Structure 1
Amino acid sequence: MKAAIVNNLAVEYIDEGKGPILFLLHGWGDNLHTFDSLLAKLSASFRVVRLDLPGFGGSEAPEESWGVEEYAYFVKSFIEKLGIPSYIIIGHSFGGRIAIKGVGIGLLKPQKVVLISAAGLATNRKVRNQLLRLIAKIGKIALFPFSSDVKERLRLKLYRKVGGEDYIHAGALKETFLRVIGEDLSPAAQKINIPALLIWGEKDTATPLLNGKRLEELIPDSTLEVLEGAGHFVHQEKTDSVAALIQAFISQ
């Protein structure tokens, strides 16, 4: 494990292997170790760089709330810090969200992009996200008469009812989480003008396959690969298949 100071934040990262550079971005509430099994399949042929994004794993959290664009700016600064000349970006879930935004607005300039169960589109989860933001705003007022312990239990119950587990576990990043889920990245996806590989688990419920199909429509030069029986962590559940898809995509 290595450490660096980037934009006044201490971050941890791993840089290993030799060859074309793969830059990996993990999902929300996760860390760089989500790619351990995938790395074992790729590091023999590639130099693989992966970091704990600010606020996750061993990296410092920003003092203020961030949106997706702030994370994309940070990734850009990190890449410049390491002096990486050219790379292929691979993002899972929230990491895919950062990749879509960064590439779409021209902040990140990879040769190709791989999106694994990427988040960021306003589909059927839009109502859930609106409810999360509403609960966060009015929760303290609505639960005012109750004791602190009772209030906490009631709020957790409300969040779980709308599928807000990520928000529950966001800790100091709650405001950042609300900013992140509040942005529809469809416009950014339409501006991606490099080859894109989309990898999805057939049974993904966190970012349903509908998102992958929609991204394939939005990104001009994109291909969607669906792996049967896999869920949101398809890169862990079907590591061999995901690695093979990535290698074939890069060699094209």
Structure 2
Amino acid sequence: MLYWNRMARSLLLRRSTASKGMKAAIVNNLAVEYIDEGKGPILFLLHGWGDNLHTFDSLLAKLSASFRVVRLDLPGFGGSEAPEESWGVEEYAYFVKSFIEKLGIPSYIIIGHSFGGRIAIKGVGIGLLKPQKVVLISAAGLATNRKVRNQLLRLIAKIGKIALFPFSSDVKERLRLKLYRKVGGEDYIHAGALKETFLRVIGEDLSPAAQKINIPALLIWGEKDTATPLLNGKRLEELIPDSTLEVLEGAGHFVHQEKTDSVAALIQAFISQ
């Protein structure tokens, strides 16, 4: 196993150096890919679940002229190694802290989309991450009307093997997929080796951590976001003392891609305050 891990890391490092702008590093014994470009105040970007650093490509084009922008593929996503054990949000926050220290970043503003926002809330709230400001874009992490769905996902995952035991493997898999889709578990279906991590992540309500954020926070939401509904943004604005919610009409969960100019302008104005 150790040999193959080393081989995989070697291939990752070679591929990263061959890809334009892509770099690689070993952090906490995991090989990860990242991009570090531009000059100026540092923006540290965290992508969402099942996504990768390229989700910010269009936003980067608007920001890299004025800022140094650092973005990485979180462990288990994009070109980065997955952890060998299941992680919760706190483990991801610890990893981000270690990555920032690895790069020797002295001060920064953290920007998190969806799951990346979840990591930012947890990390900043418990004092692991110490940015100057935080930008949360369609951030996940609050217990809302999705709480029942999340509980059902965890229940299906726990009892599914027992309940479906009499059936053949292919029949069991089809039945399990139907059950997950019934409760809106597409992310879980596609989580692959990260299924246990996904269940741990969605099982935590980050409201207590959000209340402890004591730095300025900008909340950016799409009016038509169905993955992390606007209700989440309004609730976060109530929880985070020094926060401002900006809602962009007609946009959905990937508001930073749908309304890139507006999101970039909001971020720049927030940073200049």
TM-score > 0.5, shorter chain as reference: yes
SS at match of 2:148: helix
SS at match of 1:2: strand
Match of 2:229 among 204, 208, 211: 208
Cα deviation code 1:71-99 (max 9, x no counterpart): 00000000000000000000000000000
Give the superposition deviation at 1:233.
Answer: 0.4
Cα deviation code 1:8-31 (max 9, x no counterpart): 000000000000000000000000
Distance 1:62 1:224 in 2: 34
SS at match of 1:106: coil
Match of 1:157 among 178, 186, 193: 178
Give the superposition deviation at 1:146.
Answer: 1.3
Distance 2:99 2:66 in 1: 23
Give the superposition deviation at 1:160.
Answer: 0.7
Give the superposition deviation at 1:163.
Answer: 0.7
Distance 1:136 1:6 in 2: 31
Aligned residues: 252
SS at match of 2:187: helix
Give the superposition deviation at 1:33.
Answer: 0.3
Q: Pick which of 140-149 and 8-17 moved more.
A: 140-149
Give the superposition deviation at 1:142.
Answer: 1.1
For CA contacts below 8 A with separation 6 or more, give which structure has more relative contact order: 1
The normalised TM-score by structure 1 is 1.00
Percentage identity across paired residues of the two chains: 100
**Aligned alpha-carbon RMSD (Å):** 0.4
Give the superposition deviation at 1:141.
Answer: 1.0
Distance 1:201 1:158 in 2: 29
Following TM superposition, where does structure 1 have runs of at least 4 consecutive aligned residues deviating by more than 6 angstroms? none
Whose radius of gyration is greater, 1 or 2?
A: 2
Equivalent residue, structure 2, for 1:233: 254
Distance 2:119 2:49 in 1: 11
Give the superposition deviation at 1:245.
Answer: 0.4
Cα deviation code 1:94-115 (max 9, x no counterpart): 0000000000000000000000
Whether 1:242 aligns to 2:270 is no
Give the superposition deviation at 1:145.
Answer: 1.4
SS at match of 2:98: helix
Give the superposition deviation at 1:165.
Answer: 0.5
Give the superposition deviation at 1:150.
Answer: 1.1
Distance 2:153 2:214 in 1: 33
Specify every segment of 5 or more residues in structure 1 that has no aligned partner in the other structure, as ranges.
none
Cα deviation code 1:102-135 (max 9, x no counterpart): 0000000000000000000001110000000000
SS at match of 2:44: strand
Give the superposition deviation at 1:155.
Answer: 0.6
Cα deviation code 1:33-87 (max 9, x no counterpart): 0000000000000000000000000000000000000000000000000000000
Give the superposition deviation at 1:147.
Answer: 1.3
Distance 1:160 1:246 in 2: 36
